[in-house]
Amino acid sequence: MVRAPVDPQGLEAALRPHGESVMLPQEAYTDPAVLAWERRHFFADKWTCLGRVDELADGTTYRAARVGDVAVVLTFADGAARAFANVCRHRGHELLQPGQTGDRQAVVCPYHGWSYNLDGVVKAAPRMGETFDPSGYGLVELPAEVWCGWLFVNALGGAGPFSEHLGGMADLVAPYRPESLTLKARHSYTVAANWKTIAENYHECYHCPLIHPELCKVSPPTSGDNWDLPGAWVGGTMDLRPDAETMSLDGRSRGIPLPGVNPRTVAYVGLFPNLLVSLHPDYVMTHRMEPLEPGLTAIECSWYFPAEVTDPSYAVEFWDITNREDWAACESVQRGAESPHFRPGPLAPAEDAVYQWVTMLARGYLGKPLS
Ligand code: FES
Ligand code: FE
């Protein structure tokens, strides 16, 4: 695998033991060449989350999507989600344009009209001659997995098994049964910060006393522990204060407790590269990130509740305020990272999950296994 265009000595410094290490080199946050490398190797060649399969499939049989720098066609037939390269097997025209969806039983190439069934097999190849056998020209299929309701695609096929990617995270998330929950609210943010900065900020509460008065009212910022289990993810728990039922402005829940989950903690897990999952006693919130530029990231924040819950506003209000506090901090960190005087700084003991995340990235940049 090709190494990232990131200073190897800087990566060595990031990989020193926690307490001696520093953050990633400046170019990791600012250089378009690094983002191009990440799109290819961290997104297209790993398991990237494209969203919830029920939302992607809703009202469609196929849709265009992107996994890092690779354009894909997703198809939905008989309850199965599949992913294919968005490249016609005739002369390579794109089958779908960005954002395009359809509800027919075949995907038709707009160039010479070859059509493909939803399983990628050629349905018709007009006027190719009587002796032409289309059976060897099906669409290139890409590994896809649905887990807890989310669709993941490995567009270059080089990632290991999805179960190894998840590792110990699978058992931590399973009790919340996210696949049984319903989307009740969504906010889309565009944040002027690198996508990794947003994850780094997510993985520590060292900043909470300074910028999150609402959060500190319901959850002690020094509470909880981080996990160190197999898999390409980082995360930990935080406690709720004794008088708080969930993360909301007054600590009250107006939802329904999720059965079989710890009612006293909130778990924050980040699955490499782009899905942050926040597990509450009564709802699940996700942040799905898509890098747009080195200093610009689209974030889709979603709140999932049991179907019977009609008013998610207690959770949305709390997290929208907290999100905006975080985005302001991340945007300031980005401006700092772009300064000629920026130097990678050290990590506090409480930033152990940031350390785990940064070392995972540094190993990936060097072409080594993430975990
Ligand atoms: Fe698609 Fe010719 S390139 S039909
Ligand atoms: Fe925060």
Is 280's pLDDT higher than 70? yes
| CA–CA dist 208, 322 (Å, integer) | 10
Is 1's pLDDT higher than 80? no
178, β-bridge pairs: none
Q: CATH homologous superfamily of domain 167-343?
A: Naphthalene 1,2-dioxygenase Alpha Subunit; Chain A, domain 1 (3.90.380.10)
| CA–CA dist 3, 364 (Å, integer) | 8
Distance 324 CA to ligand 2 centre (A): 9
Distance 86 CA to ligand 2 centre (A): 38
Ligand 1 atom nearest to CA at 112 = 4
For residue 217, what pLDDT is reported?
A: 97
| CA–CA dist 289, 305 (Å, integer) | 21
Helix, coil or strand: residue 357:
helix
For residue 137, what pLDDT is reported?
A: 98
Ligand 1 atom nearest to CA at 125 = 4
Largest Cα separation within the chain, whole Å, is: 76
Q: Within 13 Å of residue 283, how many CA atoms lie on the same side as its CB?
A: 30
Is 35's pLDDT higher than 80? yes
| CA–CA dist 202, 185 (Å, integer) | 20
Q: What does R_g of the chain's alpha carbons equal in angstroms?
A: 22
Q: Quick one: three-class SS letters along 121-190?
A: CEEECCCCCCCCCHHHCCCCEECEEEECCEEEECCCCCCCCHHHHHCCHHHHHHHHCHHHCEEEEEEEEE
For residue 79, what pLDDT is reported?
A: 85
Q: What is the mean pLDDT of residues 63-80?
A: 96
Best residue among 90, 94, 123 to mutate for probing ligand 1, ranked by most atoms within 8 Å of CB = 90
Q: Are 85 and 137 in contact (CB under 8 A)?
A: no
The boundaries of every CATH 3.90.380.10 domain in the chain are 167-343
Best residue among 73, 84, 114, 115 to mutate for probing ligand 1, ranked by most atoms within 8 Å of CB = 114
The 10s digit of each residue's pLDDT in 232-258 is: 999 999 999 999 999 999 999 999 999
For residue 31, what pLDDT is reported?
A: 98
The rounded percent of the chain whose pLDDT value lies above 70 is: 100
The 10s digit of each residue's pLDDT in 349-358 is: 999 999 999 9
For residue 78, what pLDDT is reported?
A: 87
Distance 9 CA to ligand 1 centre (A): 47
Residue 235's identity, in one-letter code, is G
The protein residue with its alpha carbon nearest to ligand 1, atom 3, reads 91
How does strand 275-279 pair with strand 265-271?
antiparallel
Distance 85 CA to ligand 1 centre (A): 14
| Ligand found nearest the CA of 86 | 1
Ligand 1 atom nearest to CA at 88 = 1
Best residue among 87, 111, 127 to mutate for probing ligand 1, ranked by most atoms within 8 Å of CB = 111
Q: Locate tokens 């296994």: which residue?
A: 369
Q: Locate tokens 């522990």: which residue?
A: 225
CA end-to-end span of the chain: 16
| Lining residues, ligand 1, CB within 6 Å | 88, 90-93, 109, 111-114
| Ligand found nearest the CA of 204 | 2
- Is the Cα dihedral 68, 227, 312, 328 positive or negative? negative
The 10s digit of each residue's pLDDT in 170-198 is: 999 999 999 999 999 999 999 999 999 99
How does strand 296-305 pair with strand 182-191?
antiparallel
Q: What is the mean pLDDT of residues 106-123?
A: 98
| CA–CA dist 255, 149 (Å, integer) | 21
| Ligand found nearest the CA of 207 | 2
Angle at 169 (CA atoms; ends 203, 219), nearest 5 degrees: 40
- Global pTM value: 0.97
Q: Locate tokens 């920026």: which residue?
A: 342
Report the candidate in 135, 163, 184 with the shortest Cα–Cα distance to residue 319: 184
The protein residue with its alpha carbon nearest to ligand 1, atom 2, reads 112
For residue 371, what pLDDT is reported?
A: 87
The boundaries of every CATH 2.102.10.10 domain in the chain are 49-153
Q: What is the DSSP string of 280-304?
A: -SS-EEEEEEEEEETTEEEEEEEEE
User: For residue 2, what pLDDT band results from cuts at 50, 70 and 90?
Assistant: confident
- What's the CATH fold of domain 49-153? Rieske Iron-sulfur Protein (2.102.10)
> What is the overall mean pLDDT for the chain?
97
Non-local (6+) Cβ contacts of 20 within 8 A are none
